[in-house]
Every structure is written in structure tokens, then in C-alpha cells.
Amino acid sequence: MSKHTPGFHPTPVYLNLLKVAGLVLFLIGLGLFTFSNFQDQFRITPEIAEQLSAHIPDAEIRQRLSPVVNQTFDNKFILIDNINRLLNPDHSIQDYQMGEYRFWILKTALSGSIREQALNWFFFSVVLAVAGALLYILTGLHRKPGIKHDGIFFDSAMMRGITGILLGGYLIGFYIVLYWFPQYLVQSIALVDPVSEWLRNRPADRWFMYGFLYTLAVSVMGIRMFIKYRHSNYHLVRTASVIFFQLAFAFLIPSLLERLNKPSMDFKNAWPLNYTFFTDWNLNSLIAGGNLGWFMLFWGIVLSLILVPVFTYFYGKRWYCSWVCGCGGLAETLGDPFRQLSDKSLNAWRVERGLIYSVLVFAVVMTVMQVVNYLSEGAIFGDYTWRVNQAYSFWIGSAFAGVIGTGFYPLMGNRVWCRFGCPLAAYMGIVQKFKSRFVITTNGSQCISCGNCSTYCEMGIDVRWYAQRGQNIIRASCVGCGVCAAVCPRGVLKLELTNPGERYNLVPDDEINALMEKN
């Protein structure tokens, strides 16, 4: 009697051990990164008070800190209380300005182990987490090339189980603190000071820390995509593209420009996703930035008003959303494990249309106000421009795009912002719907209605609805990630470029079964 099944090779034990080890390393790194913010030791020495002149130019205001100079604080909250009380006794300093002061005082006054052993902290948090993640990810090479979605629907992290909810909670919390209470993150931000100093020749601020982590996430999870889709050239090329644009355009080029004390810009960040481009302060800074500034102004306008619609005509909005965009880059890498969580119902589609076009209208109205305000030097809308700006920045720019957009990955899928909120996606969606060569075609009557395409559509498009009718798919929201075509077990779907007029190609009786009538 045979004891073992010949040929059978279950997942080896060592592989599971490696996965667990990777996970543990990652969690230690993440834990230390988070825990670092409780390593409170602050001391405002006279030298530090002097250094603060870069952030608090007014010497009189700096002077107000003198009662706490040379005192050591081992509790952030007490120091913050002191700052609030001393710096702004008559509430004459605006909230935004106070926020900046508070942050830089804490950041500069940070002392203790994080300052003294910054590299160690960096290593045991960031580097360890990356190493752990890579170890976990590399075990994917054991699986044969091909679509391997085994067990996704049983997985707590990927199916809104307790792990998923905790993960979502962590991300949401991180974003809330990052956007509105950065003073509680100074240690995490100080951790990446060595990188910031090396790259930009200046200490890290929260956006540098965020950009650095963001780029790491896209790159590390991009490697996961390379492994997962090593059978699909489309996904390999596309993933390489999002990593490149994040690394070069969103991270390195702006950092180097800062190092050179030039106006900084993410050259791929098109209006209206980039909602600060037409603000008076940005326009002023660009105009003051010499030839480079003028070029940036020119490029920003050409990109948004000419290149975006022209490229969308030729390739569909995917050229941006799933090849270039930073939000899309994160969604396609870090967010990939959560794509099945998007809601495919007709109701979700209704909500989507209502929301995304509202945001587009909001963005356009705001921009018009900004430009009028700039040209009239504030004569027409006055203070309202600034208020509308503030509202947009808070509700759309931070709450929607950040907290919900990324924090909700494990709760509502990886494209919540792109699908329900992004005004640039809405703008390109209109072009894609009405005048573009891009279409997903359906292969005759081969669809078996299995539902893999709809399930794994991150934009919540019910792809199957079209495929089973033999109908081509032209949807404003489609970002062309190509996953529907990849997961189809019958090869029914293909992303194609064709003559815009022939895209709809409705089969007579709008039903593929009519094929047989042609016999």
C-alpha cells in the first residue's frame, strides 16, 4: 500500500517559516516606527532656539520661548501646552502658523536616543520592516506563475476580517495624525532625517517622511507585483512604470530641486488632482523662480489642459491612472491585495457618479476663483477664495484622498479615492467615455459568467455584465489595470486601442447569442 502520493509537493514547512519570520520582522519594524513617537525627550537649548529662526523668522516670537529654554521635557503634551501658552498668549497667531511653529519646535528640540542614534532607529524600524516585507513577498516565487488567488476569500486581512479592520484602523489613525497632528509624529519624522539630510541637505518634514514611506511602499509592493504577475508582460511593464514615476518624479526630482533651493514640483502631478497649482502662493513662487519657475508654470498648464486629454484620447485614462499617477501607483502595489473589496453593485455606481463629478465641479469652481483672485489681486472674491481653498484642502485633499483614499484600502478596496473622489480621474473619465481609442473588447461568446473579472475589478465595474452580453466595455471609471483580462479563465477580455467610432460594437439584439443567427 503506498504511503505517500507520488509527485505531491505541499508548501514546504520552511517556506511557511520564512513567511512568519518576514511577518514578524515587518511587525517589529512597524512597531518600533510607531513606538518611537513615545520616546519623548525634548530640550530647547539656546543653539536650538537659534536654529528655529529658519522656521520662526520673527525673533520676538522666538524670544517668547525663553522660559522653557534649557528645560528638559519627557512628555510631549506638557511641552506642547507650554508652547501654546507661551507663544500665543493673545491668540494673535493663526492656527495654521501655530501648527508649523509647534511642529518645528518639537522636531528641533527632540533629543535623546532618536537624535543620538538616528541610524540605529532607522535601521531597526524602516530597514527591518522592508526586509521583513521582502522576505514575505519573495516566498511568492514558490508558487507557479499564473493567477493564484487561492484563499483570498478566507483571509482575514484581505476580506475585512479582524486583521483587515485593525490594519484599516492603523492606516486611518496614521493619516489623521499625519495631516492634522504632525507634532505627535516628530520622532517618526526624525527617523528619516539621515535620508533627508543626505538627499536634500535639510531635516525631514512630515511630507518628506510620508513621501519616503510612500515610495518604499510602492517599490516593495511593486516587487510583489513583479512576482505575482511574472507571467504577464503587461503587468510587469506597468508596475515598472508606476515605480519609476513614483521614485523619480514624485520623490527624487522634487528632493533634488529642494536641495538646489529651486522651486519644487512633481512634474507628473496634473491639475485638478494637484489642486494647489493655481493658488496665488504657488503662482507667485513659480514666477519668482526664474526660468525654471516659468517652465514649471508652462508645463503644468500644458500637462493638464493638453497632454492629459490628448494622451487619454490615444491610450485611455490608464496612461495616467495605472501607469504614472502616485495615488494609482500606491493602489496598484500596496493596494493590490484589497482589490476584491470594491463594491460592484449598481447602487455603488450611482454613488460613484454623484460623488466624483461633484468633486470635479468643486475643484473647477475653486480653480476659477483662484485664477480670478490672482488676476484681480483679490478684488473680486477676496477672502472667499482662501476659505474655499481651505475647505477643499481639508475635506477633499486630506480627508478624502488621504484618510479615506488610503486608510480604507482594507475596508473598501484600493481605489476608493480614484473611484469616488479624484477630479482628474473624473476629467479623464469624460474623455475616455466619449472620445478615446481605448476599449476592453469581449471575445465572441466565450464568457462563462464566472465573475472573476468583476470580483477583481478595483474600480467596482461589473465587467461580467458586459462580457456575458458580448458587449465591449467602455466605462468612464476604468483605469486599465488589465487585471480583468488577466484573471479571466477563458481569455475573454482584452484591453485594446481602436477607432473611437467602432468601440461600442453592440452585437445585434444586444446579445452575443445572436452570433448563431448569422449562420
Partner 1 sequence: MTDLVIVGNGIAGVTVARHVRKRSNRHITIISAETDHHFSRTALMYIFMGHMAYQNTKPYEDHFWKKNRIDLVRGYVTHLDTTAKILTLANGDKIPYGQLVLATGSKSNKFGWPGQDLPGVQGLYSYQDVELLEKNARGASRAVIVGGGLIGIELAEMLLSRQIAVTFLVREKTYWSNILPEEDSRLVSRHILEHGVDLRLSSELSEILAGPTGRVRAVRTASGEEIPCQIVGLTPGVHPNIDLAKAGGVPTGRGILVNDYLETQIPDVFSCGDCAEIEVPGDARNRVEQLWYTGRMQGYALAKTLCGDRTAYQRGIWFNSAKFMDIEYQTYGFVANKPRSGEEHFYWEHPGGKIAARLVFDQADRAVTGMNFFGMRMKHPVCEGWIKGRRPVESVLSDLNAANFDPEFFRSYQRDIIAAFNQQYQASVPEPKRRFLQRFFA
Q: Which is nearer to partner 1, 2 or 92 (CB)?
A: 2
**Residue 347 CB, nearest distance to partner 1 (Å)?**
9
What binding mask, one character per residue, do residues 336-355 give for partner 1 by CB under 8 A, x or -? ---------xx---------
- Per-position DSSP letters for 282-321, written without gaps between them: HHHHHHTTHHHHHHHHHHHHHIIIIIHHHHHHHH-THHHH
Cα–Cα distance measured from residue 436 to residue 481, given in angstroms and rounded to the nearest whole number: 17
Cα–Cα distance measured from residue 208 to residue 397, given in angstroms and rounded to the nearest whole number: 17
| Cα distance between the two ends of the chain | 56
Does residue 451 belong to the site contacting partner 1 (CB under 8 A)?
yes
Q: Which is nearer to partner 1, 15 or 130 (CB)?
A: 15
Does residue 486 belong to the site contacting partner 1 (CB under 8 A)?
yes
Q: CA 185, 187, 188 angle in degrees (round to 5)?
A: 70
Does residue 16 belong to the site contacting partner 1 (CB under 8 A)?
no
Beta strands of 351-491 (E only): which ranges? 438-442
Does residue 53 belong to the site contacting partner 1 (CB under 8 A)?
no
Name the helix (H) or strand (E) containing 43: strand 42-43
SS3 513: helix
**Residue 496 CB, nearest distance to partner 1 (Å)?**
8
Does residue 169 belong to the site contacting partner 1 (CB under 8 A)?
no
Does residue 5 belong to the site contacting partner 1 (CB under 8 A)?
yes
Judged by CB under 8 A, the residue of 312, 452, 471, 477 near partner 1 is: 452
Q: 173, 212 in Cβ contact below 8 A?
A: no
Name the helix (H) or strand (E) containing 494: strand 493-497
What binding mask, one character per residue, do residues 398-437 give for partner 1 by CB under 8 A, x or -? ----------------------------------------
- Per-position DSSP letters for 203-224, written without gaps between them: ---HHHHHHHHHHHHHHHHHHH
Does residue 500 belong to the site contacting partner 1 (CB under 8 A)?
no
SS3 323: coil
Within 123-162, the residues that bind partner 1 by CB under 8 A are 144-147, 149-155
Measured in residues, the chain has a length of 519
Judged by CB under 8 A, the residue of 258, 280, 343, 511 near partner 1 is: 511
Region near partner 1 per CB under 8 A, out of 81-89, 116-124, 185-193, 439-447: 439-447
Q: Which is nearer to partner 1, 13 or 379 (CB)?
A: 13
Cell numbers at residue 132, please? Answer: 521583513
Cα–Cα distance measured from residue 234 to residue 481, given in angstroms and rounded to the nearest whole number: 9
List interacting residues with partner 1 (CB under 8 A): 1-2, 4-11, 144-147, 149-155, 231-234, 236-237, 345-346, 443-446, 448-452, 454-455, 464-465, 468, 482, 485-486, 489-491, 494-495, 497, 511, 513, 515-516, 519
